[in-house]
Amino acid sequence: MGCSGSPTADSAPVDGQTEPVTITVSAAASLQRSFDEIASAFETAHPEVDVAPIGYDGSSTLATQIIEGAPVDVFASADERNMQLVVDEGLAAGAEVFATNTLVIAVPAGNPAKVTGLADLASAVTVLCAPEVPCGAASAQLLANAGIAVTPASLEQNVTAVLQKVAAGEADAGLVYRTDVVGDDAVESITPEGADAVVNRYPIVALESTARTGPEQAAAAQAFVDFVLGAEGQAVLAAHGFGTTD
């Protein structure tokens, strides 16, 4: 991000270094708007740390990249399953849940197909996330709970791609997170029955590989994690529609 600002009372330089430390963050696609804002606020509070442009994608894709050796300092997943894959490889420990999310039905503005609930998705042109992606796994669970079978027009690798197809009118509907539709005039949303029973929990962790690059890098990565978990990060997430971890 490369932003700078005056340090606050609780933003002492990490281990006293004078040159900024750059950290890399990989985060679920559904976090893009909130994490861009958080990264900017973090850099203002911690001028001794630069956050490189955050890599956003489906959590399964990011987990695979990390396991294959991508140089990442912080991983924020949209589900605990993909975080566990990274943990099982010995690449992370002590991940903490920082937010929750649930699904909504997204339709193009005006709802031309007149979708009213999950049952309509069986006959509408519906786009879903792929099953290995957190939003896809949640969508499958939501539909299974309702006893509804849907043959999707396409399966996307992240929730952003689903929303883009719906917004462009390429689909009648799609299942996305409630946070994805906040402030987007190109789409409308419907909260389906049973959505509150399928909750995605988002964990975050400073990866073990960061510690091996030196104490300054490790401290900077942990400072970012702490910021997300702290009052300011939580306020940003709440403003973007994420639920609390209580």
**Average pLDDT of 174-196?**
96
State whether 107 and 73 are in the same domain: no
- % pLDDT > 90, the chain: 87
State whether 108 and 192 are in the same domain: yes
79 falls within a domain? yes
pLDDT band, residue 99 (cuts 50/70/90): very high
Q: Are 184 and 109 in contact (CB under 8 A)?
A: no
Structure-token pair, residue 124: 């509408």
State whether 91 and 206 are in the same domain: yes
State whether 85 and 206 are in the same domain: yes
Question: In which domain, by residue range, is 62 found?
Answer: 14-100+201-239
pLDDT band, residue 148 (cuts 50/70/90): very high
Per-residue pLDDT, 209: 81
- CA dist 51 → 1, 85, 121, 181 (Å): 5, 25, 40, 26
* Of the candidates 34, 56, 92, 45, the residue with the CA atom closest to the CA atom of residue 220: 45
Residue 3 clears pLDDT 80, i.e. is over it: no
Residue 164 clears pLDDT 70, i.e. is over it: yes
* Of the candidates 88, 62, 87, the residue with the CA atom closest to the CA atom of residue 77: 62
2 falls within a domain? no
166, 181, 197 — which closes off a domain?
197
6 falls within a domain? no
Look-up of token digits 């791609």: 161
Distance between CA 68 and CA 45 in Å, rounded?
32
**Average pLDDT of 57-63?**
96
4-42 per-position pLDDT tens digit: 333 333 444 554 556 889 999 999 999 999 999 999 999
The mean-pLDDT minimum among 31-45, 73-87, 92-106, 209-223 falls in: 209-223
5 falls within a domain? no
- CA dist 40 → 46, 49, 185, 240 (Å): 10, 11, 25, 15
State whether 27 and 96 are in the same domain: yes
Distance between CA 90 and CA 114 in Å, rounded?
48
State whether 184 and 222 are in the same domain: no
Per-residue pLDDT, 115: 98
The pTM score is: 0.87
Distance between CA 187 and CA 110 in Å, rounded?
8
Q: What's the number of domains the chain is made of?
A: 2
50 falls within a domain? yes
State whether 215 and 178 are in the same domain: no
8 falls within a domain? no
Q: Are 127 and 171 in contact (CB under 8 A)?
A: yes
Radius of gyration of the chain (CA): 19
Residue 146 clears pLDDT 90, i.e. is over it: yes
DSSP 157: S
Per-residue pLDDT, 213: 75
1 falls within a domain? no
State whether 138 and 165 are in the same domain: yes
State whether 55 and 113 are in the same domain: no
Residue 180, Cβ density class (10 Å: 0-12 exposed, 13-18 middle, ≥19 buried): buried
Mean pLDDT of the residues in the chain: 92
Query: For residue 136, what is the domain's CATH number?
Result: 3.40.190.10
4 falls within a domain? no
Per-residue pLDDT, 214: 83
State whether 73 and 130 are in the same domain: no
Look-up of token digits 């906040």: 182
Strands (E), the chain: 21-23, 25-28, 49-51, 55-57, 74-76, 96-101, 103-108, 126-129, 154-156, 173-177, 187-190, 200-206
Question: For residue 44, how far is the Cα from the chain centroid?
Answer: 22
State whether 48 and 168 are in the same domain: no
State whether 188 and 221 are in the same domain: no
Per-residue pLDDT, 11: 42
Distance between CA 68 and CA 212 in Å, rounded?
17
Residue 83, Cβ density class (10 Å: 0-12 exposed, 13-18 middle, ≥19 buried): buried
